[in-house]
Amino acid sequence: MTQAGQVRTARSDEAGALTELALRAKASWGYDDAFMAASRAELTVTPERMAAWDFWVAEVEGALAGMIALSQADGRAAVEDFFVEPHLQGRGVGAALMAVLLATCRARGVPALDVDADPHAEAIYLRLGFTTVGQTPSGSIPGRMLPRMELRLAPGAVPDAEDGH
The helix-helix angle for 33-43 and 15-27 (nearest 10°) equals 150
The CA distance from 55 to 140, in Å, is 22
Which residue segments constitute the domains of the chain, with CATH numbers given? 5-111 (3.40.630.30)
Closest CA to 67 of 129, 149, 8: 8
pTM: 0.88
- pLDDT one digit per residue (tens) for the chain, 165 residues: 445 469 999 999 999 999 999 999 999 999 999 999 999 999 999 999 999 999 999 999 989 999 999 999 988 899 999 999 999 998 999 989 999 999 999 999 999 999 999 999 999 999 889 999 999 999 889 899 999 999 999 765 444 444 444
